[in-house]
Amino acid sequence: MKVNKNSSVYIIVYATVMVVVVAAVLAICAMVLQPIQNANVERETKGALLTVAGMSVATEEIEKAYAENITEVQVAASDGGSLPLYQSSVGGRTLYIIPVAGSGLWGPVWGYVALDGDWSTISAVVFDHKGETPGLGAEIAAPVFMDQFVGKQLFEGDNLVGITVLKGAGASQGNPHAVDAISGGTITSRAVETMIRTTLEEYKPYIEKQRSNGND
């Protein structure tokens, strides 16, 4: 079948117009949905902070609970900038929450580490990831891994040692500065170790000052 020149031009013009229309629709949808997506991310962040502070609240109560129990402050950084730090007061107990972030095997990993008043003892952690393998690296967000951090010590005397991730079931037993790695997820486990240590190095001057002042 022959397609005349006018028909070819019409098809090209029609296809071009459709591409422009679809692109415009997608752009409008993105603009409309962006505020909703941003609000969801903010709510998830606040929910994670409440969780690491020891609170479990329904989605519709997150904003109220956060406003009543979490305070954000800015800590001076060595480069002249500032670092975020969260303070929670739940049940008369004050915790200091530090956000941590790093890179896992397949993408970003992040979380929050809550410290007791001695600025060394871990009260709780919350970790999450973007694309780690289910059943392997993704287990950093599972209670079986996160619960190991409770009660662990970031400092040994005056030295910041962080938390070491050891390969092998029970390898960290009796070690106040270590947890067991995830079976089959050693790389992601190490990523958690690295992101905690790297982030805490940035906060180290502030933490050392609080510890020397006996801030609790």
* pLDDT score of 97: 97
pTM to 2 decimals?
Answer: 0.80
More confident residue, 5 or 113: 113
- Average the pLDDT over 30-53 and give the result: 76
Q: What is the rounded distance in angstroms from the CA atom of residue 42 to the CA atom of residue 46?
A: 6
CB atoms within 10 A of CB 172: 20
> Mean pLDDT across the stretch 57-65?
91
pLDDT tens per residue, range 143-153: 999 999 999 99
Dmax (CA) for the chain in angstroms is 88
- Is 213 exposed, middle or buried, given 0-12, 13-18 or 19+ CB atoms closer than 10 A? exposed
Angle between helices 62-69 and 5-52 (to 10 degrees): 50
Q: How far is CA 55 from CA 9, 61, 122, 215, in A?
A: 64, 11, 16, 23
**Mean pLDDT over residues 29-38, rounded?**
61
Both tokens of 152, joined, read 């662990």
Flag whether pLDDT at 33 surpasses 60. no
One-letter identity of residue 54: G
Strands 178-180 and 164-166: parallel
CA distance linking residue 189 with residue 109, whole number of Å? 10
116-141 pLDDT tens trace: 999 999 999 999 998 888 888 889 99
Average pLDDT for 7-29: 70
Radius of gyration of the CA atoms of the chain, in A: 24
Mean per-residue pLDDT of the chain: 87
Nearest residue to 123 via CA among 146, 106, 100: 146
Higher-confidence residue of 213 and 61: namely 61
Q: What percent of the chain has pLDDT over 90?
A: 59
Residue 9's pLDDT band (boundaries 50, 70, 90)?
A: low
Helices and strands, number each (H, E), in the chain: 4, 9
